[in-house]
Amino acid sequence: MAGANLVAMTTTTTTTNISGSGYANIGNLPLGVAILALLIGIFGFFVLVGGLVLLVFGTSLVVGSGSLSVFGTGGTIAGLILVLIGAVILAVASGLWDQELWALALAVIVLLFYGAVELVAQSWVALLVVAALLVYLVAVSNHFD
């Protein structure tokens, strides 16, 4: 084919840098941290819901024509505290999932406090679990920003 025209095709590959988004470390999330973040998130959800239930239903109960106070002002304060604690726990779970250093530090501080409580209570199995979690979190700390 002496007179045939040859067509050259070129392909261009474009890469997008997504390091500014939450997807930069998606493949680097250790499995144990993912499991901890999910379990902490579930726990935080239940604490938040418990606080909301206490806040809404625990303060007063209407019985017939009158109102019976179940917990009164103490129920309102306890409900608000539980809602606040639940929100903080959910934030820590999200921070662990996103591999934020502040979430790791807060998780280690809480585990150290919990370990001290278990030591005073002489609950050796729970103390071993806390120690294992601390060792694991320190071992994977290089994955956190």
Q: What is the pLDDT of residue 85?
A: 92
Q: What is the pLDDT of residue 26?
A: 56
Angle subtended by helix axes 72-97 and 31-57, to nearest 10 = 160
Q: What is the pLDDT of residue 68?
A: 52
The residues of the chain scoring below 70 in pLDDT are 1-27, 58-72
Q: What is the pLDDT of residue 15?
A: 47
* Alpha-carbon span 44 to 38, nearest angstrom: 10
* Alpha-carbon span 110 to 113, nearest angstrom: 5
pLDDT digits (tens, 9 = 90+) for 44-57: 999 999 999 888 87
* Alpha-carbon span 27 to 19, nearest angstrom: 12
Q: What is the pLDDT of residue 71?
A: 65
C-alpha radius of gyration, the chain, whole number: 26
SS (H, E, C) 80-104: HHHHHHHHHHHHHHHHHHCCCHHHH
Query: What's the length of the chain?
Result: 145
Q: What is the pLDDT of residue 13?
A: 52
> Please, which residues have CB within 8 angstroms of residue 87's CB and are 6 or more apart in sequence?
44, 48
